[in-house]
Amino acid sequence: MNVFKHILKRKSSREIAKDRLKILLISDRVNCSPEMMEMIKNDIAKVISKYMKIDTKSMEIQITKTGSKGRSLKNPTLYANIPILDLNHDIP
């Protein structure tokens, strides 16, 4: 099934809805506003930028559930995807 969908390279609106909800509900449940997520993202970018050159525009952060079943957010994890542009950035 997934292979077919991959070939078609088109997400059904059902999948889009499900993906959007999953992310939305996690931030709803932990009571973390999009503004706060944005502030966390900016602060992380600032710290990492001290040591290496990163692509702040395409970096993403989100809170995800790992290993927990059901509704409880027992093991929430902050997941950050930060593309590095230059590892040998001069350390000031």
Partner 1 sequence: MSEVIVVTSGKGGVGKTTTTANVGTGLAAMGKKVILIDTDIGLRNLDVVMGLENRIVYNLVDVVEGSCRIKQAIIRDKRYPTLFLLPSAQTRDKSAVNPAQMVKMINHLKDQFDYIILDCPAGIEQGFQNAIAGADRALVVTTPEVSAIRDADRIIGLLEANEIHKMDLVINRIRYDMIRRGDMMSSEDVVDILSLPLIGLVPDDENVVVATNQGEPLVGSNTLAGRAYQNICHRVLGEDVPFLDLEKGISFWAKVSGIFHRS
Kindly report the backbone phi and psi dihedral angles of residue 53, in degrees, each rounded to the nearest multiple of 5, phi listed first.
-85, 120
Nearest to partner 1 of 33, 49 (CB atom): 33
Strand runs labelled E in 1-92? 53-54, 60-65, 76-81, 84-86
Nearer to partner 1, 49 or 72 (CB): 72
Query: 58-81 burial by CB neighbour count: b if 16+ within 10 A, else e?
Result: ebebebebeeeeeeeeeebeeeee
Beta carbon nearer to partner 1, 15 or 43: 15
Cβ at position 31, least distance to partner 1 in Å: 9
Binding flag, residue 21, partner 1 (CB under 8 A): yes
Judged by CB under 8 A, the residue of 23, 24, 84, 85 near partner 1 is 24
Place of tokens 């000031």: 92
Binding interface with partner 1 (CB under 8 A): 1, 4-5, 8, 10, 12-15, 17-18, 20-22, 24-25, 28-29, 69-71
